Protein backbone atom coordinates (compact mmCIF):
# COMPACT_ATOMS: atom_id res chain seq x y z
CA UNK A 1 0.00 0.00 0.00
CA UNK A 2 1.27 3.45 -0.83
CA UNK A 3 0.53 7.10 -0.58
CA UNK A 4 -1.39 8.68 -3.42
CA UNK A 5 -0.27 11.86 -5.16
CA UNK A 6 -3.76 13.25 -4.57
CA UNK A 7 -4.74 14.50 -1.11
CA UNK A 8 -6.58 11.72 0.75
CA UNK A 9 -9.99 12.35 2.26
CA UNK A 10 -12.11 10.98 5.05
CA UNK A 11 -14.90 8.69 3.98
CA UNK A 12 -16.61 6.31 6.34
CA UNK A 13 -16.64 2.67 5.30
CA UNK A 14 -20.16 1.21 5.03
CA UNK A 15 -19.96 -1.65 7.52
CA UNK A 16 -23.53 -2.92 7.70
CA UNK A 17 -25.12 -5.43 5.35
CA UNK A 18 -27.96 -3.06 4.39
CA UNK A 19 -25.70 -0.09 3.70
CA UNK A 20 -23.37 -2.16 1.52
CA UNK A 21 -26.27 -3.70 -0.38
CA UNK A 22 -27.65 -0.22 -0.99
CA UNK A 23 -24.29 0.76 -2.44
CA UNK A 24 -24.50 -2.03 -5.00
CA UNK A 25 -28.08 -0.98 -5.75
CA UNK A 26 -26.99 2.57 -6.52
CA UNK A 27 -24.23 1.26 -8.76
CA UNK A 28 -26.63 -0.99 -10.70
CA UNK A 29 -29.12 1.84 -11.05
CA UNK A 30 -26.50 4.25 -12.32
CA UNK A 31 -25.20 1.76 -14.86
CA UNK A 32 -28.71 0.96 -16.08
CA UNK A 33 -29.55 4.65 -16.49
CA UNK A 34 -26.34 5.23 -18.40
CA UNK A 35 -27.07 2.28 -20.69
CA UNK A 36 -30.52 3.63 -21.54
CA UNK A 37 -29.13 7.10 -22.29
CA UNK A 38 -26.24 5.80 -24.38
CA UNK A 39 -28.51 3.40 -26.24
CA UNK A 40 -30.96 6.17 -27.10
CA UNK A 41 -28.11 8.40 -28.30
CA UNK A 42 -26.74 5.69 -30.60
CA UNK A 43 -30.18 4.81 -31.98
CA UNK A 44 -30.80 8.48 -32.74
CA UNK A 45 -27.51 8.53 -34.62
CA UNK A 46 -28.65 5.57 -36.71
CA UNK A 47 -26.35 3.07 -34.96
CA UNK A 48 -27.26 -0.36 -33.67
CA UNK A 49 -25.80 -0.50 -30.16
CA UNK A 50 -24.29 -3.68 -28.72
CA UNK A 51 -24.83 -4.62 -25.09
CA UNK A 52 -21.13 -4.75 -24.17
CA UNK A 53 -20.56 -1.34 -25.79
CA UNK A 54 -23.36 0.14 -23.68
CA UNK A 55 -21.93 -1.30 -20.47
CA UNK A 56 -18.22 -0.65 -21.04
CA UNK A 57 -18.53 3.12 -21.31
CA UNK A 58 -16.21 5.62 -19.66
CA UNK A 59 -19.07 6.90 -17.52
CA UNK A 60 -19.92 3.44 -16.24
CA UNK A 61 -16.27 2.75 -15.48
CA UNK A 62 -16.17 5.92 -13.38
CA UNK A 63 -19.34 4.86 -11.57
CA UNK A 64 -17.81 1.45 -10.91
CA UNK A 65 -14.53 2.78 -9.53
CA UNK A 66 -16.22 5.46 -7.39
CA UNK A 67 -18.69 3.03 -5.83
CA UNK A 68 -16.14 0.24 -5.29
CA UNK A 69 -13.71 2.72 -3.74
CA UNK A 70 -16.45 3.80 -1.33
CA UNK A 71 -17.41 0.23 -0.39
CA UNK A 72 -13.79 -0.95 -0.19
CA UNK A 73 -13.30 -4.51 1.04
CA UNK A 74 -13.88 -7.41 -1.32
CA UNK A 75 -15.77 -5.22 -3.78
CA UNK A 76 -12.83 -2.88 -4.30
CA UNK A 77 -10.36 -5.77 -4.29
CA UNK A 78 -12.18 -7.44 -7.17
CA UNK A 79 -12.11 -4.16 -9.11
CA UNK A 80 -8.37 -3.96 -8.56
CA UNK A 81 -7.96 -7.52 -9.79
CA UNK A 82 -9.85 -6.69 -12.97
CA UNK A 83 -7.63 -3.66 -13.60
CA UNK A 84 -4.44 -5.71 -13.05
CA UNK A 85 -5.48 -8.85 -14.89
CA UNK A 86 -7.33 -7.34 -17.86
CA UNK A 87 -5.60 -3.99 -18.21
CA UNK A 88 -4.00 -4.78 -21.56
CA UNK A 89 -7.26 -6.21 -22.90
CA UNK A 90 -9.49 -3.23 -22.05
CA UNK A 91 -9.81 0.01 -24.01
CA UNK A 92 -7.13 2.45 -22.71
CA UNK A 93 -9.68 4.87 -21.22
CA UNK A 94 -11.41 2.15 -19.20
CA UNK A 95 -8.12 0.58 -18.15
CA UNK A 96 -6.87 3.93 -16.85
CA UNK A 97 -10.01 4.61 -14.84
CA UNK A 98 -10.08 1.12 -13.31
CA UNK A 99 -6.36 1.41 -12.54
CA UNK A 100 -7.19 4.38 -10.32
CA UNK A 101 -8.63 1.86 -7.86
CA UNK A 102 -5.05 0.87 -7.05
CA UNK A 103 -4.31 4.40 -5.87
CA UNK A 104 -7.48 5.32 -4.01
CA UNK A 105 -6.66 7.30 -0.89
CA UNK A 106 -10.00 7.50 0.96
CA UNK A 107 -9.65 6.63 4.62
CA UNK A 108 -11.73 6.25 7.75
CA UNK A 109 -12.79 9.38 9.66
CA UNK A 110 -11.05 9.71 13.08
CA UNK A 111 -14.15 8.62 15.04
CA UNK A 112 -14.50 5.43 13.04
CA UNK A 113 -10.77 4.72 13.37
CA UNK A 114 -10.85 5.27 17.14
CA UNK A 115 -13.80 2.91 17.45
CA UNK A 116 -11.95 0.16 15.59
CA UNK A 117 -8.76 0.57 17.64
CA UNK A 118 -10.67 0.68 20.94
CA UNK A 119 -12.46 -2.54 20.03
CA UNK A 120 -9.12 -4.29 19.43
CA UNK A 121 -6.83 -2.69 22.03
CA UNK A 122 -9.22 -1.26 24.62
CA UNK A 123 -10.33 2.30 25.30
CA UNK A 124 -6.91 3.33 26.65
CA UNK A 125 -5.05 2.16 23.54
CA UNK A 126 -3.22 5.50 23.15
CA UNK A 127 -1.22 4.83 26.33
CA UNK A 128 0.83 2.24 24.43
CA UNK A 129 2.33 4.89 22.16
CA UNK A 130 4.41 8.01 22.32
CA UNK A 131 2.84 9.01 19.05
CA UNK A 132 0.15 7.56 16.79
CA UNK A 133 -0.34 9.45 13.55
CA UNK A 134 -4.10 9.65 12.89
CA UNK A 135 -3.57 10.41 9.22
CA UNK A 136 -2.76 7.14 7.43
CA UNK A 137 0.34 6.83 5.28
CA UNK A 138 -1.52 4.41 3.01
CA UNK A 139 -5.09 3.34 2.33
CA UNK A 140 -6.18 0.35 0.27
CA UNK A 141 -9.06 -2.07 -0.20
CA UNK A 142 -9.06 -3.95 3.11
CA UNK A 143 -7.27 -1.63 5.51
CA UNK A 144 -5.23 1.52 6.05
CA UNK A 145 -1.74 1.95 7.49
CA UNK A 146 -0.61 4.34 10.23
CA UNK A 147 2.83 5.20 11.51
CA UNK A 148 3.27 5.00 15.28
CA UNK A 149 6.03 5.15 17.90
CA UNK A 150 5.82 2.88 20.94
CA UNK A 151 6.75 3.86 24.49
CA UNK A 152 10.07 2.07 23.88
CA UNK A 153 10.79 4.29 20.88
CA UNK A 154 10.16 1.65 18.20
CA UNK A 155 8.65 3.00 15.00
CA UNK A 156 5.88 0.76 13.68
CA UNK A 157 3.55 0.50 10.74
CA UNK A 158 0.05 -0.35 11.99
CA UNK A 159 -2.40 -1.80 9.45
CA UNK A 160 -5.98 -1.33 10.60
CA UNK A 161 -8.76 -3.27 8.90
CA UNK A 162 -11.90 -1.44 7.84
CA UNK A 163 -14.94 -2.35 9.94
CA UNK A 164 -17.33 -4.87 8.41
CA UNK A 165 -14.92 -5.88 5.64
CA UNK A 166 -14.35 -9.45 6.83
CA UNK A 167 -18.06 -10.02 7.45
CA UNK A 168 -19.07 -8.69 4.01
CA UNK A 169 -16.67 -10.72 1.85
CA UNK A 170 -19.10 -13.44 0.76
CA UNK A 171 -21.97 -11.05 0.02
CA UNK A 172 -19.69 -8.57 -1.78
CA UNK A 173 -18.32 -11.27 -4.08
CA UNK A 174 -21.84 -12.57 -4.78
CA UNK A 175 -23.10 -9.05 -5.50
CA UNK A 176 -20.29 -8.33 -7.97
CA UNK A 177 -20.96 -11.67 -9.67
CA UNK A 178 -24.68 -10.81 -9.89
CA UNK A 179 -23.86 -7.46 -11.51
CA UNK A 180 -21.73 -9.23 -14.11
CA UNK A 181 -24.48 -11.77 -14.78
CA UNK A 182 -27.25 -9.19 -15.05
CA UNK A 183 -25.11 -7.00 -17.30
CA UNK A 184 -24.74 -9.84 -19.79
CA UNK A 185 -20.95 -9.65 -19.68
CA UNK A 186 -20.81 -13.23 -18.43
CA UNK A 187 -22.63 -15.96 -20.35
CA UNK A 188 -24.90 -18.30 -18.41
CA UNK A 189 -22.90 -21.25 -19.72
CA UNK A 190 -19.72 -20.14 -17.94
CA UNK A 191 -19.49 -21.74 -14.52
CA UNK A 192 -17.74 -19.22 -12.29
CA UNK A 193 -18.71 -21.03 -9.10
CA UNK A 194 -15.22 -22.41 -8.41
CA UNK A 195 -13.70 -18.97 -9.07
CA UNK A 196 -16.10 -17.27 -6.67
CA UNK A 197 -15.37 -19.89 -4.01
CA UNK A 198 -11.62 -19.40 -4.42
CA UNK A 199 -11.98 -15.61 -4.38
CA UNK A 200 -13.93 -15.74 -1.14
CA UNK A 201 -11.40 -18.11 0.40
CA UNK A 202 -8.45 -15.89 -0.47
CA UNK A 203 -10.18 -12.71 0.65
CA UNK A 204 -11.03 -14.30 4.00
CA UNK A 205 -7.36 -15.23 4.34
CA UNK A 206 -6.30 -11.67 3.49
CA UNK A 207 -8.66 -10.35 6.15
CA UNK A 208 -7.00 -12.52 8.81
CA UNK A 209 -4.09 -10.39 9.99
CA UNK A 210 -2.78 -13.05 12.38
CA UNK A 211 -2.34 -15.36 9.40
CA UNK A 212 -0.68 -12.58 7.40
CA UNK A 213 1.76 -11.95 10.23
CA UNK A 214 2.69 -15.63 10.27
CA UNK A 215 3.23 -15.61 6.49
CA UNK A 216 5.40 -12.51 6.80
CA UNK A 217 7.64 -14.26 9.33
CA UNK A 218 7.87 -17.37 7.12
CA UNK A 219 8.96 -15.21 4.17
CA UNK A 220 11.68 -13.66 6.32
CA UNK A 221 13.00 -17.18 6.89
CA UNK A 222 12.74 -18.22 3.22
CA UNK A 223 14.59 -15.14 2.00
CA UNK A 224 17.21 -15.05 4.73
CA UNK A 225 19.86 -15.93 2.13
CA UNK A 226 18.79 -13.03 -0.10
CA UNK A 227 19.78 -9.77 1.59
CA UNK A 228 18.58 -7.89 -1.48
CA UNK A 229 15.06 -8.18 -0.04
CA UNK A 230 13.78 -6.55 3.15
CA UNK A 231 10.71 -7.77 5.03
CA UNK A 232 9.26 -6.03 8.11
CA UNK A 233 9.42 -7.69 11.51
CA UNK A 234 6.16 -8.66 13.18
CA UNK A 235 5.14 -7.01 16.46
CA UNK A 236 3.15 -9.90 17.94
CA UNK A 237 1.87 -8.13 21.05
CA UNK A 238 -0.06 -5.51 19.08
CA UNK A 239 -1.25 -7.82 16.29
CA UNK A 240 -4.77 -9.25 16.19
CA UNK A 241 -7.15 -10.55 13.53
CA UNK A 242 -8.02 -6.95 12.57
CA UNK A 243 -4.73 -5.16 13.32
CA UNK A 244 -1.29 -6.00 11.94
CA UNK A 245 1.67 -4.33 13.68
CA UNK A 246 5.12 -4.49 12.12
CA UNK A 247 8.38 -2.58 11.99
CA UNK A 248 8.27 0.52 9.82
CA UNK A 249 10.58 0.09 6.82
CA UNK A 250 11.56 3.11 4.75
CA UNK A 251 11.32 2.95 0.97
CA UNK A 252 10.08 4.71 -2.13
CA UNK A 253 7.41 3.34 -4.52
CA UNK A 254 9.09 0.80 -6.75
CA UNK A 255 7.44 2.22 -9.87
CA UNK A 256 9.25 5.54 -9.22
CA UNK A 257 12.40 3.78 -10.45
CA UNK A 258 11.15 4.40 -13.98
CA UNK A 259 13.10 7.67 -13.82
CA UNK A 260 16.35 6.01 -12.67
CA UNK A 261 19.26 4.80 -14.85
CA UNK A 262 18.60 1.80 -17.07
CA UNK A 263 21.10 -0.47 -15.30
CA UNK A 264 19.37 0.03 -11.95
CA UNK A 265 15.94 -0.68 -13.41
CA UNK A 266 17.24 -3.83 -15.08
CA UNK A 267 18.90 -5.10 -11.90
CA UNK A 268 15.87 -4.51 -9.68
CA UNK A 269 13.45 -6.10 -12.09
CA UNK A 270 15.66 -9.14 -12.66
CA UNK A 271 15.66 -9.64 -8.88
CA UNK A 272 11.86 -9.51 -8.92
CA UNK A 273 11.75 -12.08 -11.73
CA UNK A 274 14.03 -14.42 -9.82
CA UNK A 275 11.89 -14.06 -6.70
CA UNK A 276 8.74 -15.08 -8.59
CA UNK A 277 10.58 -18.05 -10.10
CA UNK A 278 11.83 -19.18 -6.68
CA UNK A 279 8.34 -18.84 -5.24
CA UNK A 280 6.93 -21.04 -7.99
CA UNK A 281 9.62 -23.68 -8.40
CA UNK A 282 11.51 -23.72 -5.09
CA UNK A 283 9.30 -22.55 -2.23
CA UNK A 284 6.00 -23.84 -3.58
CA UNK A 285 4.50 -20.78 -1.91
CA UNK A 286 3.69 -17.48 -3.60
CA UNK A 287 2.58 -14.03 -2.57
CA UNK A 288 -0.01 -13.74 -5.36
CA UNK A 289 -0.85 -10.02 -5.21
CA UNK A 290 1.37 -8.13 -7.72
CA UNK A 291 0.05 -4.66 -6.83
CA UNK A 292 2.97 -2.26 -7.23
CA UNK A 293 2.22 -0.81 -3.79
CA UNK A 294 3.40 -4.08 -2.22
CA UNK A 295 6.98 -3.40 -3.30
CA UNK A 296 9.23 -0.48 -2.38
CA UNK A 297 12.88 0.40 -2.97
CA UNK A 298 15.57 1.66 -0.60
CA UNK A 299 17.95 4.07 -2.31
CA UNK A 300 20.56 3.92 0.45
CA UNK A 301 20.80 0.12 0.55
CA UNK A 302 19.70 -0.85 -2.97
CA UNK A 303 17.28 -3.36 -1.47
CA UNK A 304 13.65 -4.12 -2.36
CA UNK A 305 11.07 -3.98 0.44
CA UNK A 306 8.36 -6.66 0.30
CA UNK A 307 5.01 -5.81 1.90
CA UNK A 308 1.56 -7.35 2.31
CA UNK A 309 1.55 -11.14 2.67
CA UNK A 310 -2.21 -11.62 3.01
CA UNK A 311 -2.47 -13.13 -0.49
CA UNK A 312 0.24 -15.72 0.17
CA UNK A 313 -0.82 -19.23 -0.76
CA UNK A 314 0.68 -22.63 -1.49
CA UNK A 315 1.16 -23.61 -5.12
CA UNK A 316 -0.14 -27.06 -6.00
CA UNK A 317 2.52 -29.45 -7.34
CA UNK A 318 0.46 -30.01 -10.49
CA UNK A 319 0.57 -26.29 -11.24
CA UNK A 320 4.32 -26.12 -10.68
CA UNK A 321 4.85 -29.07 -13.04
CA UNK A 322 2.54 -27.52 -15.65
CA UNK A 323 4.50 -24.26 -15.65
CA UNK A 324 7.81 -26.12 -15.84
CA UNK A 325 6.68 -28.14 -18.85
CA UNK A 326 5.34 -25.04 -20.58
CA UNK A 327 8.58 -23.15 -20.04
CA UNK A 328 10.68 -26.10 -21.19
CA UNK A 329 8.61 -26.33 -24.38
CA UNK A 330 9.02 -22.59 -24.86
CA UNK A 331 12.79 -22.72 -24.41
CA UNK A 332 12.90 -25.54 -26.97
CA UNK A 333 10.71 -23.43 -29.27
CA UNK A 334 8.45 -26.47 -29.47
CA UNK A 335 5.24 -24.74 -30.55
CA UNK A 336 3.23 -27.97 -30.75
CA UNK A 337 4.48 -28.87 -27.28
CA UNK A 338 3.39 -25.48 -25.94
CA UNK A 339 -0.10 -26.03 -27.31
CA UNK A 340 -0.31 -29.54 -25.89
CA UNK A 341 0.93 -28.49 -22.45
CA UNK A 342 -1.45 -25.51 -22.37
CA UNK A 343 -4.35 -27.84 -23.14
CA UNK A 344 -3.21 -30.44 -20.62
CA UNK A 345 -2.93 -27.83 -17.86
CA UNK A 346 -6.30 -26.30 -18.72
CA UNK A 347 -4.80 -22.92 -19.62
CA UNK A 348 -6.96 -22.95 -22.75
CA UNK A 349 -9.87 -25.06 -23.94
CA UNK A 350 -10.00 -27.61 -26.71
CA UNK A 351 -12.80 -25.52 -28.27
CA UNK A 352 -10.38 -22.64 -28.87
CA UNK A 353 -7.91 -24.87 -30.71
CA UNK A 354 -10.67 -26.56 -32.69
CA UNK A 355 -12.48 -23.38 -33.74
CA UNK A 356 -9.53 -20.99 -34.16
CA UNK A 357 -6.37 -23.02 -34.87
CA UNK A 358 -4.72 -20.30 -36.99
CA UNK A 359 -5.21 -17.61 -34.35
CA UNK A 360 -3.88 -19.87 -31.61
CA UNK A 361 -0.82 -20.67 -33.70
CA UNK A 362 -0.20 -16.98 -34.38
CA UNK A 363 -0.42 -16.16 -30.66
CA UNK A 364 2.05 -18.94 -29.83
CA UNK A 365 4.37 -17.69 -32.59
CA UNK A 366 4.31 -14.18 -31.15
CA UNK A 367 5.09 -15.34 -27.62
CA UNK A 368 7.87 -17.74 -28.67
CA UNK A 369 9.51 -15.20 -30.97
CA UNK A 370 9.48 -12.55 -28.28
CA UNK A 371 10.44 -14.55 -25.19
CA UNK A 372 12.72 -17.39 -26.30
CA UNK A 373 15.62 -15.39 -27.72
CA UNK A 374 18.93 -15.67 -25.87
CA UNK A 375 19.20 -11.91 -25.71
CA UNK A 376 17.91 -9.06 -23.53
CA UNK A 377 14.14 -8.67 -23.74
CA UNK A 378 12.79 -5.12 -23.64
CA UNK A 379 9.73 -5.17 -21.38
CA UNK A 380 9.09 -1.54 -22.31
CA UNK A 381 8.49 -2.48 -25.93
CA UNK A 382 4.82 -3.42 -25.89
CA UNK A 383 4.42 -3.57 -29.66
CA UNK A 384 3.52 -7.26 -29.51
CA UNK A 385 0.73 -6.71 -26.95
CA UNK A 386 -1.80 -5.24 -29.42
CA UNK A 387 -1.14 -8.21 -31.72
CA UNK A 388 -1.95 -10.64 -28.93
CA UNK A 389 -4.93 -8.55 -27.85
CA UNK A 390 -6.38 -8.49 -31.37
CA UNK A 391 -6.10 -12.26 -31.73
CA UNK A 392 -7.42 -12.87 -28.22
CA UNK A 393 -10.35 -10.49 -28.54
CA UNK A 394 -11.33 -12.02 -31.88
CA UNK A 395 -11.53 -15.41 -30.18
CA UNK A 396 -13.31 -14.01 -27.13
CA UNK A 397 -16.15 -12.68 -29.28
CA UNK A 398 -17.24 -16.31 -29.64
CA UNK A 399 -18.69 -17.31 -26.30
CA UNK A 400 -18.28 -20.96 -27.16
CA UNK A 401 -14.59 -20.46 -26.41
CA UNK A 402 -15.09 -18.92 -22.96
CA UNK A 403 -13.26 -21.02 -20.43
CA UNK A 404 -11.94 -20.72 -16.90
CA UNK A 405 -8.54 -22.35 -16.26
CA UNK A 406 -8.07 -24.22 -12.98
CA UNK A 407 -8.57 -21.67 -10.24
CA UNK A 408 -5.13 -22.22 -8.69
CA UNK A 409 -3.45 -21.24 -11.96
CA UNK A 410 -5.31 -17.93 -11.99
CA UNK A 411 -3.63 -16.80 -8.77
CA UNK A 412 -0.18 -17.78 -10.03
CA UNK A 413 -0.76 -16.23 -13.44
CA UNK A 414 -1.93 -13.02 -11.79
CA UNK A 415 1.46 -12.72 -10.06
CA UNK A 416 3.37 -13.59 -13.23
CA UNK A 417 1.40 -11.14 -15.38
CA UNK A 418 1.52 -8.41 -12.75
CA UNK A 419 5.29 -8.76 -12.48
CA UNK A 420 5.56 -8.40 -16.27
CA UNK A 421 3.50 -5.19 -16.00
CA UNK A 422 6.04 -3.86 -13.51
CA UNK A 423 8.77 -4.66 -16.02
CA UNK A 424 6.85 -2.69 -18.63
CA UNK A 425 6.44 0.24 -16.24
CA UNK A 426 10.18 0.27 -15.50
CA UNK A 427 11.04 -0.35 -19.17
CA UNK A 428 13.41 -3.02 -17.92
CA UNK A 429 15.65 -4.97 -20.30
CA UNK A 430 16.44 -8.50 -19.07
CA UNK A 431 17.56 -11.74 -20.69
CA UNK A 432 14.43 -13.73 -19.83
CA UNK A 433 15.70 -16.93 -21.39
CA UNK A 434 18.88 -16.92 -19.32
CA UNK A 435 16.98 -16.32 -16.08
CA UNK A 436 14.45 -19.06 -16.81
CA UNK A 437 17.10 -21.59 -17.82
CA UNK A 438 19.09 -20.88 -14.67
CA UNK A 439 16.12 -21.20 -12.34
CA UNK A 440 14.80 -24.37 -13.98
CA UNK A 441 18.22 -25.98 -13.73
CA UNK A 442 18.63 -24.96 -10.08
CA UNK A 443 15.22 -26.35 -9.12
CA UNK A 444 15.16 -29.47 -11.29
Rounded to 10 degrees, the C-alpha dihedral 196/185/59/89 comes to 80
Q: Distance of alpha carbon 302 from its chain centroid, rounded?
A: 25
Question: Helix, strand or coil for residue 71?
Answer: helix
Rounded Cα gap, residues 135 and 107, in angstroms: 9
Q: Which residues pair with 362 in a beta bridge?
A: none
Rounded Cα gap, residues 30 and 39, in angstroms: 14
Half-sphere exposure of 204 toward its Cβ, with a 13 Å CA cutoff?
10
Query: For residue 402, what are the CA distances in angstroms to 261, 366, 392, 398, 422?
Result: 43, 22, 11, 7, 28
Catalytic position from the list 5, 225, 263, 289: 289
Query: For residue 218, what are the CA distances in angstroms to 137, 232, 283?
Result: 25, 11, 11
Choose among 320, 325, 349: nearest CA to 338.
325
Interhelix angle 407-426/262-278, nearest 10 degrees: 170
Exposed/middle/buried for 287, CB within 10 Å: 0-12, 13-18, 19+? buried
* Residue 289 designated active-site: yes
Query: For residue 40, what are the CA distances in angstroms to 2, 37, 346?
Result: 42, 5, 42
Cβ 273 vs Cβ 316: under 8 Å: no
Residues ≥6 apart with Cβ < 8 Å to 403: 190, 348, 349, 351, 352
Catalytic residues: 289
Amino acid sequence: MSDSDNPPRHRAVPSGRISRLAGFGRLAGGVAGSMLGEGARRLAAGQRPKLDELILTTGNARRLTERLAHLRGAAMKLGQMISMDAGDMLPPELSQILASLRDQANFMPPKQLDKVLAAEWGKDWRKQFRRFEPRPIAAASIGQVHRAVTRDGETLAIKVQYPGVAESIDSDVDNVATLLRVSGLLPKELDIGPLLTAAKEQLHEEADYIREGEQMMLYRERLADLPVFVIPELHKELTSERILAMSFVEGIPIESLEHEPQDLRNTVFEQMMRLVARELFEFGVMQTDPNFANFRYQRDTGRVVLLDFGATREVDDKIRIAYRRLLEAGLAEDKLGIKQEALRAGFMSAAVVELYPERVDRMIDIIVNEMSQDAPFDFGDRSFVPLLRDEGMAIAQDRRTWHLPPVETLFVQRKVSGTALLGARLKAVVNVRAVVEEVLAATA
